[in-house]
Amino acid sequence: MLTAALYIAFFSIAAALAICMVRLVRGPHAPDRVLAFDTLYINTIALMIVLDIYHSTSVLFEAALLIALTGFVATAAFARYLARGKVME
């Protein structure tokens, strides 16, 4: 039963990633694309956690944490660039 649930989870995450890609490509505005990117990295974190459960390890945990850290910084930098035209001043 756990295996079935894991496959359903994999499938849903893949579907969610595909849907986010649609929004990323279609836009229509720059903030929409950044929002799609933000959701994309959160879904990637979810994928890594489910992979961890699937393999009964915790090797991907560090990778998930790193994606969480860099993803947030990237979103903040994108938003700052769109709002002010520069990231650092």
Partner 1 sequence: MLDFLVSILLLVGSFFIVVGAFGLVRLPDFFMRLHGQTKSTTLGVGSFLLASVVHTVDGGFTLQELLIALFLFITAPVSAFLLGQVGLQRHVPSRAPLPEDFPGLRHEPMDLPSRARPASHPGD
Q: Residue 60 is which amino acid? A: L
Decide: is 87 part of the binding site for partner 1 (CB under 8 A): no
Give min distance, CB of 52 to partner 1, in A.
6
Decide: is 27 part of the binding site for partner 1 (CB under 8 A): yes
Decide: is 9 part of the binding site for partner 1 (CB under 8 A): yes
Q: Are 59 and 52 in contact (CB under 8 A)?
A: yes
Alpha-carbon distances of 59 from 35, 48, 70, rounded to whole Å: 28, 10, 18
Closest to 61 in 3D by CA, of 49, 73, 46, 47 = 49
Decide: is 63 part of the binding site for partner 1 (CB under 8 A): no
Residue number with CB closer to partner 1 (42 or 89): 42
Give min distance, CB of 89 to partner 1, in A.
15
Decide: is 65 part of the binding site for partner 1 (CB under 8 A): yes
- Give the helix/strand (H/E) hosting 48: helix 30-55
